[in-house]
Amino acid sequence: MTIEHTSIPDVVILHPRVFEDARGYFFESFNEKEFASQLYPVHFVQDNESKSSYGVVRGLHFQKGKSVQAKLVRVIKGEVLDVAVDIRVGSPTFGKWVAVLLSEHNASQLFIPRGFAHGFCVRSAEAVFQYKCDRFYDPSSEGAIAWDDPDLGIDWGIPAEEVLLSEKDKKHRMLKDIPAEELFDYGKNL
C-alpha cells in the first residue's frame, strides 16, 4: 500500500498493490497493522455497502458527538467522485474539501478522519460503494451539510439537473447555518 497525501492533512488516498494475471486480480484492501505503521492506529467496527445509479449524490454526512466516525471508502464497481469536507472549527482548512475519483479500475481508497463531512457522486451507470467505519452508526447523531452549499463550491462533475438526491439529502443546511457546537473542535482530540 502506498499513501498519497492530499491538500488537507490527515485525508489520504491509499493505493493498494494489485496483482493481476490471466485469472483476474488480487489485492489486500485493508491491513490494520500496515495502516497503523504508515498513518496511525484505527480499529474499524462496521462495514457498509451501497449501490447507486448515475447522478446519485449521497451526502454530505457526518456523525456527531461520541459517534463521530473515521471512514475508509472504496468503489468495487463503477466510478464515484468522493468528497471530504473539513468541519473542524478552528482548523486552518475549515470549510475546505478534497475530491478524489474512486473506481473499480484504480482500486484507490480514501481515508476520511473524524471531524469531516463525507459524500459522493456516482459518475458511472451504477456504482457499488463500500466503506469501513471506526464507530457504529447512530441515527440520533446524524449531521449533514447541503451538497450544493455555494460557499463550499464543490464541483461534483455532473450537471446539477442530473443530480439525484434522497428526500433527506434535499433538506440539509448550509455549513454557515450550522452552529459551531454541532460541528467539531479542531483543538479537541476526536
pLDDT single digits (tens) 49-102: 999 999 999 999 999 989 999 999 999 999 999 999 999 999 999 999 999 999
Catalytic residue among 25, 54, 118, 131: 131
Active site residue 131: yes
In the chain, the percentage of residues whose pLDDT exceeds 90 is: 85
At residue 161, the 3 state secondary structure works out as helix
pLDDT at 138 over 90: yes
Q: What is the pTM of this model?
A: 0.94
Kind and range of the H or E run holding 37? helix 32-38
Predicted confidence band of residue 188 (pLDDT cuts 50, 70, 90)? confident
pLDDT for the residue numbered 153: 97
pLDDT one-digit tens code per residue, 161-177 = 999 999 999 999 999 99
Catalytic residue among 15, 54, 61, 186: 61
**Burial label, 75 (beta-carbon count in 10 A; 0-12, 13-18, 19+):** buried
pLDDT for the residue numbered 25: 83
Give me the domains of the chain, ranges plus CATH numbers.
Answer: 45-185 (2.60.120.10)
Active site residue 137: no
Cell 457499488 belongs to residue = 128
pLDDT for the residue numbered 20: 85
How many CB atoms neighbour CB 118 within 10 A?
Answer: 21
Predicted confidence band of residue 190 (pLDDT cuts 50, 70, 90)? confident
